[in-house]
Amino acid sequence: MLLIIIQILLAYLIGSIPSAVWIGKALYGVDVRQQGSGNAGATNVIRVLGYKAGIPVLLFDVFKGWLAVFITSLFPDQGMPPDQIVYIEIGAAVAAACGHVFPVLAGFRGGKGVGTMAGVGIALFPLALLIVLGIFIAVLAMTRYVSLSSCIAASAFPFIVVFITGEHHPGLIILSVFVAVFVLYTHRANIRRLLKGEENKFNFKGGGKK
């Protein structure tokens, strides 16, 4: 039990690494949470500082989601059957997402968790993630709303996991539903702005600090 707690805490700390905040402050002297949408995520970094800063943030956020799950494989399995080990991976995935949104290393003010959840998807749902990524790109190309694209893709995720990839593990199915609910929850302010017609569209040319 102690090893499991350590794995979950480690996953949370990995998720808590605030790449958007640290890169903005260290390289540009900017706290991205004070500019643009106020979100400590890759989209806002691109909006405020440009692709040169935003792409590394996105890649790192995805990487830490994958790493939080992968690192559980480095611990002794203590004779647990594979079906039970999956639940530790699920716990690590949820902990990493919570760490990204509520990072102890950045005053509990983080991003929305989409990039980190994508990293979790690489680790646990690779095929479903590819399909969801296609949906995200298609919606973004049509609407230019990152938030809408994220919400639609996340909402489709559990259906893809169950009906297209044929996942049967109850824990992974529950996690796929959690991903959808989690993304919708972290985008609740964006959803309100979308309904009011006040949400900002994504500028594909990027921003950048002048």
Q: In terms of residues, how long is the chain?
A: 210
CA dist 132 to 137, 143, 158, Å? 9, 16, 10
**Average of pLDDT values for 110-134?**
96
pLDDT category at 194 given cuts 50, 70, 90 is: very high
Residue 22: is its pLDDT beyond 60? yes
Q: Give the model confidence (pLDDT) of 92-105 as tens digits.
A: 999 999 999 999 99
Model pTM score: 0.91
Q: Collapsing DSSP states into helix, strand and coil, what is residue 148?
A: helix
pLDDT category at 209 given cuts 50, 70, 90 is: low
On whether the CB atoms of residues 73 and 88 are closer than 8 A, the answer is: no
Residue 91: is its pLDDT beyond 80? yes
